[in-house]
Structure 1
């Protein structure tokens, strides 16, 4: 089964079975900059041995493939591609792997697959994609007698660990996009810009990958218009006006005339944070301003923003900013 995106972009491209691909004297249908053996050596040099795991790749039909060896600048500053492919596999296909320094987005266009990841199972039908960190153990396989076809992107980047924390917070790694979605247009754009020889394609690729992740984020509960109850907005207003005071869950719940257990659960559901994480974020934001623009001592700042325990303030600030309050003040005083 052809990938409709590849068929649209390259109507004359011929798909090849992997056995043909690796024995062919030229690689017109699979964009390899050098020989397969040379690429295999480069993958291993970059600790990207994609075949370091358990696989069944028999009767693999490749519709498109391109691998990448990003520049030093891209590896240090951008989201960058490692592998971009479109493939149809037989019903026997499976992959079991871990410890690959790469993130993977794989979108089904044919048949049916199943992913096991982070203690959960996800069924994948056309339009569905999964987004995983390949450092964690993962396994996926065809569950359709007609096989399974999916297009996929292996990529990485300096900011990806923070991006991916948001995915994990949602408790879901499967997302769905229609054929007419903006995500599909971005996928096409990604293929086209990297098919060409533009000197700025790494920078444009960074933008496209960021846009694709943004489209995925827009399906996360914490970034959707949740239709939250009115009391959630009122509670946020209350906390923003009183976070420097000594607050207890009982006092907060009384303000809402609701059970503290109900308030805690619903607040986390609609904001993605616990009540006290929300309060701490407000306090740290005020501490940042005071450290930058006032001469108050660090202990006085801790008192003013609502921390009775100065050590607790130090720990909370350092955890969020990855530097101590004094180091933060010193850093900003240099500007």
Structure 2
């Protein structure tokens, strides 16, 4: 792919979320910059992510350096100014996009409230991967349909709300996590321990936990519990076994622990779930 910038002006408008412009750019110009109170594109949001070099942004009077892997998210208008500082000596290379619409503002406000204006995002995160997918589709496939662009933009902003979630963490880590997941799924009905899973993967329990949390944000045992509850839900709908027997067959050590765990995820006990078949007719429920 090549660096470039692309802007969109729509005749058929999707009211909730629209991509105004998107780009991949490198600058070493001391004149580069924007003032959030001077711009005319009001009710927009701007996202900018550093790939190389560094930039600067002042938000509410406080200056921040924007190093590799850091981004800013701001609303227009607001009290901010971002720019290239020539004293850094290295050009600033970054990804950026400008979006508008009521959902753009609402979702950006939530992200800023939870994470602040300055975001640290792994290059392998779903957010950055989603950005590249969107940029590639626009720059190479020349996508211009407003609805399709909005779908890609929604995906990016949703991914931005969990920037630490990565697609993978390197080829070394993927086989270990995949091996553990397969072992858990194949033995979900057993009372597995962390040591059991780690031993199968020939790693320590602590190391396996770190790999899981980097790739899925949950521990191996949490992943196991979710799969157990999914199995229990299916059995409650497809068998006449008692809730107590289902708990045993799903590897829970006691009926009370099974009921308590089930309620954490579904909001009610296994017996109540079975009783409310009309309101909850699902044979399969996926717990993310």
> Aligned residue for 2:185?
240
Output aligned runs, 1:36-115, within 5 Å.
Answer: 70=15, 80-81=16-17, 84=20, 93=35, 106-107=47-48, 112-114=55-57
Secondary structure of 2:261's counterpart equals helix
Classify 1:142/1:206 alpha carbon distance in 2 versus 1 (closer, same or farther; 3 Å): closer
What per-residue deviation string (whole Å, max 9, x for no partner) do you get for residues 199-244 of structure 1? xx5xx45433345458979x96642373126444333333222232
Structure 2: 5+ residue runs without aligned partners? 23-30, 38-42, 87-93, 284-288
Output aligned runs, 1:20-39, within 5 Å.
Answer: none
Secondary structure of 1:5's counterpart equals strand
Find out whether 1:224 has 2:161 as its counterpart. Answer: no
Classify 1:69/1:241 alpha carbon distance in 2 versus 1 (closer, same or farther; 3 Å): closer
Secondary structure of 2:99's counterpart equals strand
Output aligned runs, 1:244-263, within 5 Å.
Answer: 244-263=189-208
Say what the alpha-carbon RMSD is for the aligned residues.
5.4
Output aligned runs, 1:71-220, within 5 Å.
Answer: 80-81=16-17, 84=20, 93=35, 106-107=47-48, 112-114=55-57, 123=66, 130=72, 141-144=81-84, 151-154=97-100, 156=103, 172-173=120-121, 181-184=132-135, 193=145, 201=147, 204=148, 206-210=150-154, 212=156
The CA deviation at 1:282 is: 1.3
Structure 1: 5+ residue runs without aligned partners? 11-30, 32-67, 71-79, 96-101, 195-200
> Aligned residue for 1:284?
229
Looking at structure 2, the residues matched to 229 and 236 of structure 1 have their Cα atoms a distance apart, in angstroms, of 11
Please report the TM-score for the alignment, with normalisation by the length of structure 1. 0.47
Looking at structure 2, the residues matched to 312 and 140 of structure 1 have their Cα atoms a distance apart, in angstroms, of 52
Classify 1:251/1:139 alpha carbon distance in 2 versus 1 (closer, same or farther; 3 Å): farther
Please report the TM-score for the alignment, with normalisation by the length of structure 2. 0.53
Secondary structure of 1:223's counterpart equals coil
Looking at structure 1, the residues matched to 282 and 181 of structure 2 have their Cα atoms a distance apart, in angstroms, of 35
Looking at structure 2, the residues matched to 305 and 208 of structure 1 have their Cα atoms a distance apart, in angstroms, of 39
